[in-house]
Structure 1
Amino acid sequence: MCGVSVRYHFAIMKLLLLLAVLSVGEGGSSRKVAGRAGGSVTLPCSYDMKNRKPLSVCWNRGNLPVFKCDNVLIATDELSVREDSRRSSRYQLLGRLDQGDVSLTILNVTESDAGQYGCRVEIPGWFNDDKHHLDLTVDSAPQTTTSVNSETSTLQKTDTHTAGHMNATETVLTSSFSSVIRQQESSSVTVALVSVMFGLIVLVTVGGVVILVRKWMRLHKVRQQQLNSSIQFSSTLQLQSRDSAVENIYQIEEGVARGV
């Protein structure tokens, strides 16, 4: 009877020790993540796909329990999201699930989203799950409106300085207008100079072409004259040779007649 009681107490002590170890393991350190209201924030979580096959993952709002997730935001069945587990369309897994990236992205963050989150990667075996805890803090969105009193005081301050601001504005506008006029005048002068230079270049080019054409025509005329002179000279030589040949024939015929 005493031995049974000892064994019973020993089993209770082992159970209590196991629960204590589990509670310590579940409540470990958390990673801090900051977001801004109205934007989006990503809570990182991943596992090594090189040494493991695709695993199931669940995201929990609050501290992770001993097993599974008791406040599921979104979960995966290996490489696909279980749509029946998605609590809201604001919760997205935008990472590469096939590479072990199961980070949770929360869209349109609100201040109520601040708090603790848990990512559980379910690894086969007893108490082998890979757990990640993250604490999200949300900064308030910048205010776009002011109170009536602040608007009134701002308007009063604006009225007291309106004249000075108007004078400063007029001065700035006058100086800007003057600078624009100067820029336009300098641009006009530049355009005029470019136009004059272009006209001079065109005139010089045309004059050069005219001179070259005239020289070519003169040279062509001289060559034509030389060619005509050579033709006339050759014609004269031919006529003279014909006349000499005719005279020789007459002389020969007269000599033959006399001899007869």
Structure 2
Amino acid sequence: MTAVDFAAFVDRLAEASGEAIRPFFRTTLALQDKSAGVRFDPVTEADRAAETTMRQMIMETFPAHGIVGEEFPNHQPDADYVWVLDPIDGTKSFISGFPTWGTLICLEHNGQPVYGMMHQPFTRERFMGDGARSSWSGPNPHGTVVTHTLRTRPCATLAEAVTMTTSPRLMEPGERDRYARIEDVARLSRYGGDCYSYCMLAAGHVDLVVESGLKPYDIAALIPIVAGAGGIVTTWDGGDAAGGGQVVAAGDPRLHALALEMLNR
């Protein structure tokens, strides 16, 4: 089966997980700090409810597939097909009432992301990609769901670039210094976008996203979305970003090359 064959099932996962999450958004939530007080890393009832729903659907429909998720132990992670799930990427935004969070759903085949979706259940937007093409669907001002193709925009220099990172404070001090080289030159820098930053890059509104400390479930679904829109996602040293870590995404390969040069100077 190809990634396209799984697209309808991903839509079902998105719908079901969204139904599990929406009742919790902008309400009083019980929080748990997964970091045990080291660096605030919240998890909510909504995270667990959504991932539980998706896991049950996957195991019932594709029992031979593996699952790697944020909230529960891995299930058959060495399978040929593995689902990589982040029920709420941007939990800090979620608990603060900001809609810059989303559900990340990725299908990997032999360790490589072949289909990804970022679903924003509150705005009812979906960003989808298979590495060759990407699209957006969501309601227009009249409430009708429409779909259009995503394309990154040309941007050859950092002086023209809009850059994003969730927060430089999430980086280690040395990484923060390296990122500052880019921010000092960029036309505009913004913070706090989480997964939404990568989708805005794919949509041609942002040019560069630089992050560190990512887990596989933070980035795997976003790689085929950015790539399908014409962008590129790698680690800071130019390697495969599917495993997380230090990640840089650019809408223009020329800008990507400049960013790598700045980060590794």
| TM-score, L = length of structure 1 | 0.19
Which structure's residues are more often strand, by fraction?
A: 2
| TM-score, L = length of structure 2 | 0.19
